[in-house]
Chains A and B, each alone.
Chain A
């Protein structure tokens, strides 16, 4: 996603990213980032928390108006309602990131990717 942000910016379209993976986005480097310190999956606010989602969305609009240089990051002032345990558990031995079915899809996709590449279709 950061690569798309960079491509649009380089071609004159301002962007604002709303994301959970701060280090990944900043490692790549984008123009404007609203960082939301939530589990991967809900960058725009907790599910069904409309008032909070509105505040995060307005932060993104505000950042478009105020940022004057690239790599401008602001952080949403919210904490995940169920606590911070997820930060310890994500990508840990006791909690696989993908369940069996999703992992199989991922492995199948990797195999197919290699096939397409060897057939010269990529």
Chain B
């Protein structure tokens, strides 16, 4: 069976739910491309994800509701033990699957294995959470620059991105 066309499916679904204006999914004709500048074994990696990743028993990830709305990319220290990470995300296919295995959407263990084996150079000290904000403009004007600035501060050369 072919893959799901979410843009079509959600348009129909929300029209039936009574919303009259379909969501305007981001679309661009041009796509920027940054070539890899050195071997992966010399690159420092980070992860950015919209999986609403958080740390158990730690309120430094802020007021969740407000943060989600305003945008504001946040950070997860990359040495956080796996068992302390979890997802607060509610927008996923909860009828088909679950988010109990962090590595199924935030591949921190795979990244650590790649570092240990020398496949990649190192892991940046900060990984990134980004909220799927209500405003594409805010994502580009607020969240993008924040993630970029932190990547540069940490010397991150490559980012693995995992949306939910």
Contacts and interface: CB of A to CB of B under 8 A. Distances in A.
Interface of A: 1-25, 27-31, 35, 37-48, 50, 53-54, 57, 60-61, 64-65, 67-71, 80, 82, 84, 86-87, 89-93, 95, 97-99, 101-102, 105-106, 108-110, 112-113, 116, 121-122
B153 interface: no
Contacts of A67: 33
Nearest to B16: A93
B69 A8 contact: no
Interface of B: 1, 3-10, 12-13, 16, 25-37, 40, 48-50, 65-66, 68-70, 89-101, 103-107, 109-111, 113-114, 119-120, 130, 132, 134-136, 138-140, 143-145, 147-148, 151, 156-164
Contact of A47 (B101, B106, B158): B101
A41 B99 contact: yes
Contacts of B97: 38-39, 41-42, 47, 86
18 contacts: A1-B130, A3-B26, A5-B161, A11-B148, A16-B159, A24-B7, A27-B25, A28-B28, A44-B107, A45-B104, A61-B114, A64-B40, A90-B4, A91-B13, A97-B93, A105-B65, A122-B69, A122-B135
Contacts of B99: 41
Contacts of A28: 25-28
Contact of A24 (B6, B89, B106): B6
B157 A14 contact: yes
A64 to B, nearest CB: 5
Contacts of B139: 3-4
B109 to A, nearest CB: 8
The 4 closest A-B pairs by CB, nearest first: A7-B144, A41-B92, A1-B163, A39-B93
Given A15-B161, A27-B25, A70-B31, A122 B95 contact: no
Contacts of A54: 110, 113
Contact of A60 (B16, B29, B160): B160
A105 B158 CA distance: 34
B98 A47 contact: yes
A62 to B, nearest CB: 9
Given A13-B159, A17-B161, A27 B27 contact: yes
